[in-house]
Amino acid sequence: MNFARCARCAFAFSLAVAAADGVAARDDDYQRLLDRFNALATDPVLGTHAPVAMDRARLALAHLKEARRAEREHWIYMAERRIDSARANAEAEALGDQRSTLQRENDRLQLAIARRDAEQARAELERQRLQAQIRAEEAERARRDAEAARAEGAQATQAAESARAEAEQAKRMAAAQAKAAALAKKEAQLEAALSGDGSAGAAPPKTKPKAKPKAKPAAPSKSN
């Protein structure tokens, strides 16, 4: 009788130990998965992403905590899969946000580069415009100088031609005067020569008797 009682006590003790081991195992699995979920939920980057997947993982943990022995394996599996899915979704969203951030940063950089290039192009255009204006002003000044030089050259040429014409005219006048003087001198010499030859060889002319003047008729007397 005492043996049978001892056997029953030993069996009851083994059941109690087995139940305690089952509870401990259940608590260990739940705590392990809860720690994984909390690490994900409190991550400064991933914790703010995939809220729907996070809620599904949290719900699976709640079912696991309340599950009976027959359902524990199912909910352990479900909690693990949902925590993994929540992490994968959170990482994908975080990568998408990072890609969007990088894209926005690249867009801002491209915009800054485009603005810089546009500013450089405007500055280059303004520089070219100023250079073209300077060249145009220099060309206009050169044209005016050339016109003034041509005008001065034309005036100088005209003055030189006028001086040459006056010189030619003076030369012709001098030549005419010299010729006239030479001819006058020659004429005087010829006249002098002719005058000297006539007085020497010719006989003196005979003097004709003067005719007596005719008597003038008497003037008629005035009648009273």
Whole-number pLDDT of residue 54: 95
Inter-CA distances, 9 with 1, 12, 187, 224, Å: 12, 5, 193, 230
At 152, phi and psi to the nearest 5?
-65, -40
Whole-number pLDDT of residue 141: 92
Which pair of structure tokens corresponds to residue 77? Answer: 């599996």
Find the mean pLDDT for residues 145-161.
86
Which pair of structure tokens corresponds to residue 75? Answer: 């909910």
* CB neighbourhood size of 27 (10 A): 12
Whole-number pLDDT of residue 55: 96
* CA gyration radius, the chain: 74
Whole-number pLDDT of residue 211: 56
Angle of helix 2-41 versus helix 51-66 axis, rounded to 10: 170
168 pLDDT tier (thresholds 50, 70, 90) = confident
pLDDT in tens, 6-44: 434 343 434 333 344 444 445 889 999 999 999 999 999
CA 213 to chain centre: 125
Residue pair 84/40 in contact by the 8 Å Cβ criterion: no
Residue pair 83/53 in contact by the 8 Å Cβ criterion: no
